[in-house]
Amino acid sequence: MRKNIRSSSSPKALAASFPMPPLADAMDAVRLSVDRFCLLAGVEALAEMMEEDATTVCGARHRRHGDRRGYRWGRTQSEIGYHGGKVKVSRPRVRDRAGKEVSLESWQVLRDGDLLLEGALNLMVLNVSTRKYHRAVRLPEGDLAKAGGDGTSKSAVSRRFVALSRKKMKAWLASDLSELDLLVIQIDGLHVGDHVLVAAIGVDGNGDKHVLAVVEGATENTAVVQAVLDNLLARGLDPTQPRLFIVDGAKALSKAIRNTFGVAAAIQRCQVHKGRNIIERLPQHLHASVKKVLRQAWDQDDADQAERLLRNLARRLEHEEPGVSGSILEGLDEILTVIRLGLPHELRRSLACTNIIENALGTVRQVTRNVKRWRHAEMALRWTATGLLEAQKTFRRLKAYRQLPVLRNALQEHLRKAQADSAIETIMKAA
């Protein structure tokens, strides 16, 4: 008997007697409750703002105001875009002394801002298909947004995404860069469908990262990279300030940088890309020994010693793998730039590769994975810009940011030495 009582009082038995709603249904109920709360709070705040605006023009209710600029004219029901649907709000109407309708500032801002546009952009970035958009959003009343007639159809959402992403891209590519104290600029290319895009990301003196620009071109050539750099200069980037440029190894990148910032520009080729290109071209039995030498070279504090290690490696591979040997020697000076600058190890690890921009381009690939067809270059450019701006939201300060003053001093010394060498060379040629 006691056993039966004990078993009937167990959690499983109680659950069977009083079945609980499924977890998914419970979470949906919680989510809707939060949505309703947010809506009610937002509408209430909006009502207060509009009432304050009306009071500014008409004065307080039921009082005489000889200096009032207008008078109240009842209320009206209007709609705002909210979370993929339309929500009605009651707003006060105001007329001036001449009887002309006065537009309240708070209502004007809300109407012009169109919260639905931001909702569309955010969901597109999260890989919600335009076909499924109306299923992904809910009105605070708990109903699914309807597919038609409320601005959530596939075509309507697509138009909103295009409009807002284009607007954000234009504003970003025209933003002022003159106040940014950029010490590092990373440049890399990305293939989106059949289109090639080149992007730039900067690191300022505090270690904060900034998405700077993106340009579309037929290939990752000098002209495209030059277009990126020209965009930066046009927006206020100071070409006389010494900086470290980090690239993936494409010759077009280095050429465009030196054309713009002079032959003394400090350029670091990505050691990760370089090492990967070397190893991939070697037979398996050579991988371990070559990786060991590369690691030893990258870890050197003396650039001359690092260079000797790499030249010896190239000499060793010259007969068996002549192509790889040549690859090791190609761009050797630029591979060792961070070592020649005398940067601390921690800072070198952060600046010897293009990981910063590679991670951002990874976000672009994530954002664009649901796009099935790239209609034109402008579409690829908009989506890439959207992905880069989304990546910027998750940027963290450079790990070795406290060591950036060392980089600043090293770049200034590098520039002075380059200028002195150039002056001596000019004198020698004249003589």
How does pLDDT run across 137-181, given as a tens digit for each residue?
A: 444 444 434 444 444 445 555 666 677 778 888 999 999 999 999
Report, as an integer, the average pLDDT of 364-389. 86
Give the pLDDT score at 79: 75
Residue 302 near residue 317 (C-beta atoms within 8 A): no
* Statement to judge: residues 274 and 371 lie in one domain: yes
Amino acid letter for position 362: G
Give the pLDDT score at 7: 46
Banded pLDDT at 359 (limits 50, 70, 90): very high
pLDDT digits (tens, 9 = 90+) for 56-94: 888 887 677 667 788 888 888 877 765 555 667 788 888
Q: Is residue 289 part of a domain?
A: yes
Q: Looking at 79-173, list the stretches that DSSP marks H as alpha helix, in order from N- to C-terminal side.
A: 105-113, 115-125, 133-136, 154-173
Residue ending a domain, choose from 122, 143, 171: 171
Report, as an integer, the average pLDDT of 20-36. 57
* Statement to judge: residues 37 and 90 lie in one domain: yes
Q: Inform me whether the pLDDT recorded for 229 exceeds 70.
A: yes
Give the pLDDT score at 139: 43
Selected residue with higher pLDDT from 379 and 159: 379
30-37: long-range contacts (C-beta < 8 A, 24 or more apart)?
A: 31/138, 32/138, 32/140, 32/142, 35/83, 35/138, 35/139, 35/140, 35/142, 36/140, 36/141, 36/142
* Statement to judge: residues 259 and 408 lie in one domain: yes
Identify the domain containing residue 296 by its residue range: 179-418
Give the pLDDT score at 29: 59
CB 406: neighbour CB atoms within 10 A?
15
Radius of gyration of the chain (CA): 31
The percentage of the chain sitting over the pLDDT mark of 90, rounded to a whole number, equals 41
Give the pLDDT score at 304: 95
Which of 187-191, 300-304, 368-372, 410-414 shows the lowest mean pLDDT across its residues? 368-372
Residue 202 near residue 356 (C-beta atoms within 8 A): no
DSSP per position, 337-350: HHHHTT--HHHHHH
* Statement to judge: residues 127 and 197 lie in one domain: no
* Statement to judge: residues 111 and 225 lie in one domain: no
Give the pLDDT score at 118: 55
* Statement to judge: residues 253 and 301 lie in one domain: yes
Across the strands, what pairs with 210? 202
* Statement to judge: residues 147 and 199 lie in one domain: no
Return the top range by mean pLDDT from 113-117, 244-248, 382-386: 244-248
Selected residue with higher pLDDT from 324 and 8: 324
pTM: 0.70
Q: Inform me whether the pLDDT recorded for 124 exceeds 90.
A: no
* Statement to judge: residues 293 and 399 lie in one domain: yes
Across the strands, what pairs with 98? none
Interatomic CA distance for residues 151 and 84, integer angstroms: 7
* Statement to judge: residues 293 and 365 lie in one domain: yes
- Tokens representing 155? 């075509």
Give the pLDDT score at 155: 56
Residue whose entry in the numeric block shows the structure tokens 């056993």 = 3
Nearest to 188 by CA among 233, 257, 274, 250: 250
Domain count, the chain: 2
* Statement to judge: residues 245 and 189 lie in one domain: yes
* Statement to judge: residues 190 and 165 lie in one domain: no
